[in-house]
Amino acid sequence: MPSSSLKSISIDIEVMTHDRLRKVVFGLDKETADSGDVTWTIDFKLFEREKKTDEFGDPLVKLDAVVVKKPNFDKAEDTARTGKFTAAQTEHALGPASVDAKRFKDGKIPREKAAATAERTIAKRS
């Protein structure tokens, strides 16, 4: 198989709750430099709707371009490779990551704290 010619690739993982009223989209964006060094960023979006027959529309909360720290690169790569969360990652995305994204939107915490919580979703991969 030929090598990938992609210098930039993104993977958006959607997880929808069983009641179909809430959806988390966890996007991982990977850029590769000439040297082979990579950078990872996260786009976190939380969607909610009143009824499952409605469209989700705009995200209730979104956190864009959260830079992943180097210690989490392997876990980011692993998450992107499988295109799926582990159980701990799903629980974190639906729990603290969603709560802190909302707290940031409501002005209760700074962006840095919400971004750090979103990044910890990656770190929950064991």
60 binds other proteins (CB under 8 A): no
119 sits near other proteins (criterion: CB under 8 A): no
Interface with other proteins includes 107 (CB under 8 A)?
A: no
Regarding 50 and contact with other proteins (CB under 8 A), the answer is: no
User: If binding is defined by CB under 8 A, does position 121 make contact with other proteins?
Assistant: no
Q: Please write down the HEC assignment for all residues of the chain.
A: CCCCCCCEEEEEEEEECCCCCEEEEEEEEEEECCCCCEEEEEEEEEEECCCCCCCCCCCCEEEEEEECCHHHHHHHHHHHHHCCCCHHHHHHHHHHHHHHHHHHHCCCCCHHHHHHHHHHHHHCCC
Considering the rule CB under 8 A, would residue 94 count as an interface residue with other proteins?
A: yes
| Cβ at position 22, least distance to other proteins in Å | 5
Q: Any contact of residue 112 with other proteins (CB under 8 A)?
A: no
Of residues 22-41, which lie at the interface with other proteins (CB under 8 A)?
22, 25, 27, 32-34
The answer to whether residues 102 and 61 touch, using CB atoms and an 8 Å cutoff, is yes
By CB under 8 A, name the binding residues for other proteins.
1-22, 25, 27, 32-34, 43, 45, 51-55, 57, 64, 80-87, 89-92, 94-96, 98-100, 102-103, 108, 120, 123
